[in-house]
Every structure is written in C-alpha cells, then in structure tokens.
Structure 1
Amino acid sequence: MNEKELYRVWCENATADPDLAAELADIRDDEEAINDRFYRDLEFGTGGLRGVIGAGTNRMNIYTVKRATQGFADYLNQEYKNPSVAISYDSRIKSDVFSKAAAEVLAANGIKVHIYSELMPTPCLSFAVRRLKCQGGIMVTASHNPAKYNGYKVYGEDGCQITLRGAEIILDKINSLDIFNDVKSSDFDEELAKGNISYIGQDVIEDFYQRVLAEGINTDLCASSGLKVVYTPLNGTGNKPVREILKRIGITNVTIVKEQENPDGNFPTCPYPNPEIREALEVGLKYCREVKPDLLLATDPDCDRVGIAVPDGDDYALFSGNEVGALLLEYICSQRKAKGTMPENPVAVKTIVTTDIVASICKEYGVEMIDVLTGFKFIGEQIGFLEAKGEEKRYIFGFEESYGYLSGGYVRDKDAVDASMLICEMAAYYRTKGITLLQARENMYKKYGMFYQTLYSFTFEGESGMKKMDEIMTTLRNTPPTEIGGLKVVKFEDYKTSVRKDIITGQESEITLPKSNVLAFYLEGGSKAIVRPSGTEPKIKTYLTAKQPNLASAQALEKKLCEDFSKNFK
C-alpha cells in the first residue's frame, strides 16, 4: 500500500488511542505530513524501536509497539519453553502506556510478564531480567532524546540488549505481521488478576542496591569527607535510586535541582535531557553557583548515563564522558591495586570510539584492554564471555565516550546509579587527599599524555536525509581522504567490509568484530577520525581525537581536523 492507502487504513482502525485519532484527523489535507508518517515502518534496529511519538507506521504509538512486541513474543515462543519477560519504563510521554501495551501482548501470547510498578532505570531492567531468570526484557525509553521521542529497547536472557541474530529474527517476524489483524492482545488488569502479569517486588530493587554498593572501594571515607553535591535526575528515573545509594554510602550533603526532580516527559527546563550537552545542565549549574558544591551530577531520563561538572575558579567545568571514564578507570585500578583487591588478569572494555588514553592506563596497571563496537551491549557481551569461562571477576570496568559506565557484572548495560556512586566516592577520596577532580584530571594527562577528543553530530531529517546519509558514507568508503587537517591518513578501517588497510605499506588485514557501518581514519602522530551513522537518530556522528603534548596544542589541532573533516557533511 502507498502512503495515502495506509493513512486511510489507520483512520479506520487506529481508534483505541484518542490522541492518534485526533492527529490523523488534523493531517487529513497535509500530504507531506501523511507521507512522513507512512513512507516507511519505524525501523526495528539492533536495540529495538525509537522515534517521534504519534500516528503512523513511522511513529511510536501503541500499534507499532504492539506489533514489535508480537514479533518479540513469536521469537521467544520459538526459542524457549514457557518464556518470561521483565518490563520497565522511564518518565517519557506514554512510557507507562507503551509498557502496559507490551505486557498485554506478551500475556496474550502465553508469556509471563514481570513489570515494575513505577518508572525505573534501564540498569534495573537489565538486573531484573537476570535476577528473575527471564528470557527477555523490554525497556520503554528514548534515553536522552528530546521530549517528542520515545523508544523500546529489547533485551535477551543475559541482560544485554538483544543480539544481532536475535534482532534479525525478530525483525523478520515483525515484517510478516499486519499491524491491525495479526497482533494478539489482552486486558492488563485481567492478566494481573490471573497472575500472568505481576509487579516486580521491592526485594529485587533491594538486591540491585546491594550489588551496586558492593562495587564501592573507599565508601567508608565518604561520610567524613565533607563532599558537597548538587544532583539533577533531569526529570527522569534516577531520582529515587541515585539519592538512595548516595545516602547509604554517607553522602548526605546533596542538593536536588527542584525544577528537574520529579518525572516529567515534557522536560520543561531541559529540551534536550542529555548530560553530554551543557544546555541540559544549565539549571543545575545555577544551583552550583549558589550552593558551591564539589560536584554536579546529572543522570539522563532512563538513568543509564551520567554527566558531571566540577569547580573551576569562579565557575564550573563540564567533564566529557571520556574524561570521567578514564578518571574512574585510573581510580579503580590504583585503589584496587593498593588494597590488594585487583583480580588476576584484570580486564577493561571500551568501545572503538572511546578515548585511546585507556590503553596507556591499562598498560600501567597490567590490565587487558578489549575494544568492541559502539553500543554498550558489546561491553555486556564481553562480561558474558568471561562469565561463561567462570572468570567474570576479571572484569573491573567498561565505558563508552557517551557517558555510560559500569564497574561490575551484576547488570549488562551501563548504569548511572553505579557510576554516580563511584564518581562521588572518587571525589570524596581525592578530597581527603586535598585533590580536586580538576587536579586529578590534570595529573592524569601529565602522566599519560593529552588525548583531546570531540564529537560532532550532523543531522539529516526525513526520507531525503536518510538518502543523504547513505551517500556520504558511500563516498567516504569508496574514496577515503588521504589527509585530514594537514595530517596524512596512515591507516583506514572499514567495519562494514571488515577490512583494515595500512596506507603506508598497502597491507590489508581482517577486522574480527561484527560488521558495522563505521569508518576509521588513523592519522600520523596518533590522531584519529571515526565516522558512523547513529543507530537511534537521523544523524552522522564523527569522533575526532587530537593527540598532542598539551591541551592548547591539542585544541588547535582538533580545530583544524574539524574544519577539514566537516566538509564531508555539507
């Protein structure tokens, strides 16, 4: 069917949600609006669904959610006997509605559902899957996207986001379904009464807290350290768990950003609730200028990522995800070594777009470093590989540049509850030594060198934008640049064709990671440029690394790299 035919079908059938019916009526004479909503199905990628909330096949709504869930249910019933699924959701618009819609489909397909009774963070979903021995999980969230978005992440029985194989099978099953005629559903309250749907108990939440607390190294120092914190959950799920964990380790001088304390999917004071960007932290920074804390913490709506700011003269400096991750790795390694708690043959994991300073830190402490594709599920997968060999305790830390961290194997996704605790503990420890986090960062760069990394996103909206992104990636792949910012490209990696080429010698070798649409350009002197399309947003992301002896020269080089490489995205 074409877009107009699909529109008519939806007008006739999408009657369960009055918001959708009203939207469909409003766009009756708007051909462009109809086309945008129906020109494609909302893509079910390796992580699930993510898109703008609204009517149509290219939107997040109860029908696209139910269709995806039917595909997931068919997969689970094919792969397992008597499967069960855990469900959680964040503060976004219709997150609770979508989570209940998913539960109704699963229950109608004979699948037992365990659902949190209130919004809970992504790591709590991963934990519940493993703790309750489920075969799958669903987290309703769009992470840090603007308020108009929502999403739906699918998890496997290992607590990681679904594997590439699983995602492909689920997608095939979804594609075979008619959105209105092939989806089984039931009534939530009736299934709850029958016991086919049940609420996840406080015992599971308490077990999660205990596992997070077990990751502490110097938590005994926190209560007497005098650490002062401002915290914002950015109107998301972190409010209760982060505050509870900080209280339990003795961090009691915590000021909450009131405007961003309670759940609110409209995110009225931070249109982009992303701790990576300064705009999301502006209200918190105003508090900092009044309260004068040692640290500002900000967790994103589903509380799997955390950003920080620290005092810098009369103002506050934001740290990047690379800097926080590297500082945590250095802290964990140094303290576990000092206390004699470092495991034999320790392992740290990072994504290929994450700072290369990790290699130097790992070398200093005898830690094996593993590089994986972008996406925290690949870090979780490495923990699973270790667990399968009975070596899970070898894993000490994993992180990605986009502010996601995890220090233990109790969950298989990034955890801002764990990270918030460790960041506060680290700050408290250094405070007792008379060292600020700003000084700790400088000490790290003096020790290992300056790796200055930046991320740029180029947005391409709509159908034409998708085509433009494909064209850009094809051009860079087929005719890669020979130099960037005046530096020669000495090595080129194409993760889609699995080919690594040494430009100097002409020698080619195989990349053994799974295929992915990622290109990497290694430059003389140790600098680097990596480019990939986002898996969740209509963006191409570029990661630039300028390796120089000091910050000033690194920033100058990065500027040249940016100006030159950005020409590819015009």
Structure 2
Amino acid sequence: MTTDAPAESVLEALDRLALPEPMRATIRAWLSDPAYADTRAELERTVARAIGGSGADPAGSKGQADALAELEDAFVGPLPIGTGGRRGPCGAGPNRVNAAVMRETARGLAVAMRESDETPKVAVVYDTRSSSRTFALVVAAALTAEQIAVTLIDGPRPTPQLSFLVRRLGCGAGIVISASHNPPTDNGIKIYGPDGAQVIGDLDRRLMDGIVAAGNNPGSLPEIDIKAVTAGVVPAAVERINPDAQPDRADDPYHEYVLAQGVTPGALDGDAAVRVAFTPLHGVGHSSVIPVLRARGLAPILVEAQLPDDGVFETVKSANPESIAAFAVGLEVARAQRADLLLATDPDADRLGAMVRQADGEYGFIDGNRLGVLMLDHVLRELSALGSEELRGGWVLTTLVSSPLIAKLARAREVEVVDDLLVGFKNHAGMQADSERRGEPRTLVFACEESHGYLRGNEIRDKDGAIAALLLCECAAACKREGTDLFGRLEQLWAIHGYHREQTGNLYAEGSSGRRAISAVMDRLRSDPPSSFGGLAVQATLDRLKPTPTGWPTRDLPGDVLVYELAGDGRGCRLVFRPSGTEPKIKAYALAHGRAGIDEPGAAAREREQVDALVAQVLADAERFATEVMAPLIESA
C-alpha cells in the first residue's frame, strides 16, 4: 500500500489533462489525502499513463486515451445507488468500489439512520468475492466508529438471509457486500432498511445525501485502522457470528423460514422424487439450497467444481443463471447423474435458473418469466386444493417487464395482483410496506420479476433463490406424479391462456460516452418515437417519468421507463425500454402473446412459431432504433 505523497510532477501534470477542473481537483485529493491511501498506487499508475509519463508499464499499458477515459469515468461522480445498491468495478475514484467508497457509504448510512431515528444497529453479510470480506470489515469498522452496533455474519451467506436477519435481529439497517453476478473485477454494497428491504423513498434520499456529503468532505469520515482491517482483523466492538460454528444464530432460523414457504405437504421423496443437480456458480447458494432441499427429503447432487473459488469464477464467463452458458459445467454433472433438474443460483443466491431433462434426454433451459409462471401456477394449485385462506387475503406482485401470464394466472384464481411495478425487488417490498402502513397487510402469495427473481412470504423482503428452488422442485415433483414435466405444464397453461413469449435485448455502452448515448435513446423515444415496431402499431404509450397516481406510493414511483403497447393481426406485444440500474446498458423487453384456446398440436405449433417470430422482429426493430441513436455519440467519443 502506498502512503507517501506522489511525486510533485504527477500532481502538476494533472493540469495538462483534458478534464474539467472539478474532476482534476478530486483526482488531486485522491492522490494526496490519507483517506484514499489504499488505492493511491493504482491511481498514480493510471495518471502516469494518461499523461504519457514513465509510470506506465509498456507491456500492460492501456494507452493514454484509455487511461484518460478511465479517469473520466472513475471520477465522474459518486457511484450511484441503482436497483441493486452500489456496484461497479473495483479501483480508485468515487465512481469505483474501494475502501473509501465503503466508508462514505457507511457514513451516509449512519447519518441517514440518525435523521430517520432508526435503531442504531446494522447486520452485515458478504459473498464469496475476493474483496468482499475486507469491504465488510471496512464497513463494520466505520459503523462502529459512528457509534452504531454491528452484527457481522463472518462467513459468506446469501443476500436474502441478510434481509431475514435484519427483521429477526431488530436492526435499523442491513448491508450486503456483493456484486451479484457482475464480473470478477466488480464488487458492491447493497443497503437495506429496517423492514429488510433495499432502501427507497426518504431513507434512500437521505442516504445518498449523506454519501455525497461524505465524499465531498473526506475529513468527516470516521477514523478506522485501515491497515488492520485490510489485514482481516475484526474490530473488537463488532459482534461476530461464525455461521458454521453457530448455525442456531445465523442459518437455522432462516432455513426453517424458507422451508415454511413450501406449499406441498409432506416430504418430496418416494416414487415422484425428482433427481436434482445444483450449482452455486462459485457463490454462496450451497449454504441455503442444499440444506433446504435435503430437509424436504431430496438428495441434491452438488456441482463441486463450481463451489466458491475466492471470486475468480474460473469455470464461467458470467456467473449468471439467466445465461444458458453458465450451466455448461453443471450440465456435465446432470447428464452423468441423469438428473431431472439442474438448478443454479447466482453468487449471492438471490436468483435461480433451471434446466430440465426432456423425454429425449436432452436438457432444455427455462427462462425467468416461464419459471415464474410455473412456480405461481404451482402455488395457486396447491393452495386452492388445500382451501387456503391465504388466497383471499393475499396478493401477487410483479413488474411491468414480467410475463403478462403471471397476472392472468392470478386473476383466473381471483387473487389480487399488481403487475406494473418498476424493476427491482425493492419495489415489491415497498408495496408490502405500503400495505402495512395503510393498515391493510396482505400475505405475499408470490412475487417475481423476469430476471430470475422469486419470493414468497412476508419475512424476507428480497428475492430468494432457496425459496425458488424449493417451489420449483415441488412443482417438478407434482408434474412427475401426473406423468408430465415442467415443459408439459407450460403447454397446458398456453392452451388455456394463449402462448406467451418474452425476450430481452441488451445494448451495452461503456463509460461516460455510453451514458450519454443511453440517455439520448430515451430522449429520442420521448420526442420522436416510431409509430410501429415489428409490423405492429403502437396503440398506447406509458412514460413512467410522468405521474401515474394509483394511491400506492411505491406503485407511483417515477422511473426512466417507456412502455409501448402494440397490437395487430389478433396478437399483442408490450415493448419496454429502460436503462439498466446496475450495468452500462439499455434494455429492451418484448412481451408477446398469441390467441387463447389453441390446443390442437399442429395449430399450437404454428401459433408459437408466429409469436416467436413476432417477438424477434419487434426486438430487432427496437435494437435498430437504439443503435442508430447511440452509434454517432459513441463513435465521436
């Protein structure tokens, strides 16, 4: 770690860089202030490359232009709070993840908690990335210096377990150190409120104000022993729980709650037992999914090659269960063991993906929307068969980019459904909090979003891969008893409600020029949108930046989201544009449906082909429009 001041020539040379003076001033502070000492050596090398100095290593240099672009992006402003908290590449700068950003976030949280009069106690959990435990200790030390009690679960554990523990321990807030399925170079911090949900509303604004204030005044940051913390020393004031040695305090209550969200009575063993292979994709999912499935009588087969590897993610290009490529290693195990199901959770175990062995022995991937459809249908079937009062006093929550079939299934069972939430499970949780504030608490029958996030029950306020794994295994077992499989169940539902197909397009645009390009797409869509996509006419447009009052504060939250309802030839499609809150990209969602009541095999097959082609054409038109707007801005950067 470099602690001495950099050479004077490096500081002076900053004036020659083609950067705004406020940005150069911030870089000077990061080069000289002790608060940023842990990243100073890295920053010196980047500045040297940007000015063409001798500090650049010719073998590893990105070049002057790339180094300048790196500085511009790293120092453009504070790392924002998006749908997953704060996350991004590790490195020097306020727009990077580092110890200083962690301390600023801790300071901002402390200020926000005091202003909101929250209980001065925070639970902290971290994932398997190489820097996660260090950042967890930095946050814990910073919070204790702010006179806030900290309970640290000192062993990698799932994000939803943190949500559960915040409520169980009576904390005023919770923190998870994780970047979910982002690349190994990234990390992040997720911040939870006293209800166990990611912060929104007033607490969110106070938090960001506190973070910005801390970033502008590094002298306000609490004093901590950075050297000791980065060496792995847990501050004495922190309550440390080793989950492996103290499962009764960390794991057991959470696992018992997850098990209670199942809806099939009895064990899942016997003739209808499904053979399940499971991979945590180098994350923490084995700590939750494996014990839960075993408790229900299953014998899950663990893909041991994808156990934690210190954040390297060696066997996958992306540890994302939304991606078929992430299943490659697990498929080898599943095939060898003739597993009925191959399940995968992302590194912080809040998302679930699945592949299913079909009649021909090959494995088929089921996307996030269809997994949600299967789980919800299973829950509704089982609760209806049991005559559960939960259906009359509960609701189903989903987003405006999730399959419309979710809402159709709920309404067919006369269950209340909200299907126009913004992306992010903090909005599902916000609706639960709104219902409690109104004195009209509802049981969460099921909640989902298209990006493989699922939840059931009221005591966890974030998506949970273990709950999803349990429900999907129950569903697969029910199908097996009936002589079908998960794909067969989908065909049954399509025959009743119409074939549904959803697909998402992602257009990446890195750096500050990329952010400008993404903003330009949204501006053009608002000022001069196309009148049709994929041959379907635009019938209605919804701009979520404009007020849409429903009387529910969370449901009425504004968002940079544009929704187009398309129709023609007896079919419909919803097209949604939104910038990602966690990655440098704009997303386009096409959600189409065909005609209901088609069950003759040949006609059903033709209907699917036509709807699939419609989705592809709508998405192609959307991506073409966005690319034409973005290209000049990116090329000129």
1:558 matches 2:577 = no
* Change beyond 3 A, Cα 1:389–1:34: closer
Equivalent residue for 2:116, pick from 79, 82, 87: 79
Equivalent residue for 2:496, pick from 439, 447, 450: 447
Query: Deviation per CA, 1:492-550, whole angstroms, max 9, x where unpaired?
Result: 000002369xxxxxxxxx99621100000001132110010011111101110122243
The amino acid of 1:335's aligned partner reads E
The 5 A counterparts of 1:483-498 are 483-498=532-547
**Distance of 2:79 and 2:554 partners within structure 1:** 31
The amino acid of 2:418's aligned partner reads I
Equivalent pair of 1:345/1:394 in contact (CA under 8 Å): yes
Equivalent residue for 1:523, pick from 566, 576, 583: 566
Q: What residue in structure 2 maps to residue 547 of structure 1? A: 593
Question: Could you tell me the TM-score, scaled by structure 2's length?
Answer: 0.84
- Larger deviation, residues 213-222 vs 94-103: 213-222
1:160 matches 2:160 = no
1:57 matches 2:100 = no
Equivalent pair of 1:64/1:179 in contact (CA under 8 Å): no
Equivalent pair of 2:193/2:199 in contact (CA under 8 Å): yes
The amino acid of 1:420's aligned partner reads A
Deviation at residue 466 of structure 1 after TM alignment: 0.6
Deviation at residue 144 of structure 1 after TM alignment: 1.3
**Distance of 2:467 and 2:262 partners within structure 1:** 9
The 5 A counterparts of 1:9-408 are 9-13=29-33, 20-31=39-50, 32=68, 33-45=70-82, 47-80=84-117, 83-177=120-214, 178=216, 180-187=218-225, 192-194=235-237, 196-199=238-241, 202=247, 203-224=249-270, 225-252=272-299, 254-312=300-358, 313-343=360-390, 344-371=392-419, 372-388=421-437, 392=441, 394-408=443-457
Deviation at residue 35 of structure 1 after TM alignment: 2.8
* Change beyond 3 A, Cα 1:556–1:117: same
Query: Deviation per CA, 1:191-221, whole angstroms, max 9, x where unpaired?
Result: 8534x54437533421111111111122524
Equivalent residue for 2:523, pick from 446, 460, 474: 474
- Larger deviation, residues 243-252 vs 474-483: 474-483
* Change beyond 3 A, Cα 1:16–1:97: farther
**Secondary structure of 1:222's aligned partner:** coil
The amino acid of 1:283's aligned partner reads V
Deviation at residue 41 of structure 1 after TM alignment: 2.5
**Distance of 1:512 and 1:406 partners within structure 2:** 18
Deviation at residue 392 of structure 1 after TM alignment: 4.5
**Distance of 1:511 and 1:113 partners within structure 2:** 29
For these two proteins, the number of residue pairs brought into alignment is 558
Equivalent pair of 1:130/1:159 in contact (CA under 8 Å): yes
Deviation at residue 173 of structure 1 after TM alignment: 1.8
Equivalent pair of 1:455/1:541 in contact (CA under 8 Å): yes
Equivalent pair of 1:311/1:438 in contact (CA under 8 Å): no
**Distance of 1:308 and 1:314 partners within structure 2:** 15
Query: Deviation per CA, 1:300-326, whole angstroms, max 9, x where unpaired?
Result: 000000000001323211101100101
**Distance of 1:412 and 1:130 partners within structure 2:** 9
Deviation at residue 163 of structure 1 after TM alignment: 1.3
Q: What residue in structure 1 maps to residue 471 of structure 2? A: 422
The amino acid of 1:50's aligned partner reads R
**Secondary structure of 1:193's aligned partner:** coil
Deviation at residue 378 of structure 1 after TM alignment: 1.1
Deviation at residue 120 of structure 1 after TM alignment: 0.8
Equivalent pair of 1:147/1:271 in contact (CA under 8 Å): no
* Change beyond 3 A, Cα 1:394–1:127: closer
**Secondary structure of 1:317's aligned partner:** strand
Deviation at residue 328 of structure 1 after TM alignment: 0.7
Deviation at residue 60 of structure 1 after TM alignment: 0.3
**Distance of 2:585 and 2:45 partners within structure 1:** 29
Query: Deviation per CA, 1:17-69, whole angstroms, max 9, x where unpaired?
Result: 65x34422332322213333223322234653111011122210001111111
Q: What residue in structure 2 maps to residue 504 of structure 1? A: none
**Distance of 1:162 and 1:319 partners within structure 2:** 31
**Secondary structure of 1:520's aligned partner:** strand
* Change beyond 3 A, Cα 1:161–1:512: closer
Equivalent pair of 1:333/1:342 in contact (CA under 8 Å): no
**Distance of 2:240 and 2:35 partners within structure 1:** 28
Equivalent pair of 2:35/2:100 in contact (CA under 8 Å): no
**Distance of 1:219 and 1:285 partners within structure 2:** 30
**Distance of 1:265 and 1:436 partners within structure 2:** 35
1:567 matches 2:624 = yes
Between the aligned residues of both structures, percent identity stands at 32
Query: Deviation per CA, 1:334-381, whole angstroms, max 9, x where unpaired?
Result: 111001124224311101110001122112211111121111111112
**Distance of 1:355 and 1:227 partners within structure 2:** 27
**Distance of 1:131 and 1:553 partners within structure 2:** 50
The amino acid of 2:622's aligned partner reads F
Equivalent pair of 2:427/2:554 in contact (CA under 8 Å): no
**Secondary structure of 2:204's aligned partner:** helix
Q: What residue in structure 1 maps to residue 578 of structure 2? A: 532
* Change beyond 3 A, Cα 1:430–1:464: same
**Secondary structure of 1:142's aligned partner:** coil
**Distance of 1:537 and 1:215 partners within structure 2:** 32
Deviation at residue 11 of structure 1 after TM alignment: 2.7
* Change beyond 3 A, Cα 1:392–1:120: farther
**Distance of 1:278 and 1:143 partners within structure 2:** 17
Equivalent pair of 1:130/1:157 in contact (CA under 8 Å): yes
The amino acid of 2:48's aligned partner reads D
**Distance of 2:382 and 2:175 partners within structure 1:** 36
Query: Deviation per CA, 1:85-117, whole angstroms, max 9, x where unpaired?
Result: 111111123111111111111101111111102
Question: Could you tell me the TM-score, scaled by structure 1's length?
Answer: 0.93
**Distance of 2:458 and 2:585 partners within structure 1:** 31
Flag the structure with larger Rg. Answer: 2
The amino acid of 1:327's aligned partner reads L
Deviation at residue 76 of structure 1 after TM alignment: 0.8
* Change beyond 3 A, Cα 1:4–1:132: same
Equivalent residue for 1:433, pick from 473, 482, 486: 482
Deviation at residue 329 of structure 1 after TM alignment: 0.6
List runs of 5+ in structure 1 lacking aligned partners: 501-509
- Larger deviation, residues 291-300 vs 371-380: 371-380
**Distance of 1:190 and 1:287 partners within structure 2:** 39
**Distance of 1:156 and 1:511 partners within structure 2:** 15
Q: What residue in structure 2 maps to residue 507 of structure 1? A: none
Deviation at residue 277 of structure 1 after TM alignment: 0.8
Deviation at residue 555 of structure 1 after TM alignment: 0.8
Deviation at residue 82 of structure 1 after TM alignment: 5.0
Deviation at residue 226 of structure 1 after TM alignment: 3.0
Query: Deviation per CA, 1:254-280, whole angstroms, max 9, x where unpaired?
Result: 221122123431111112111001111
Deviation at residue 141 of structure 1 after TM alignment: 1.0
* Change beyond 3 A, Cα 1:190–1:463: closer
**Distance of 2:187 and 2:142 partners within structure 1:** 19
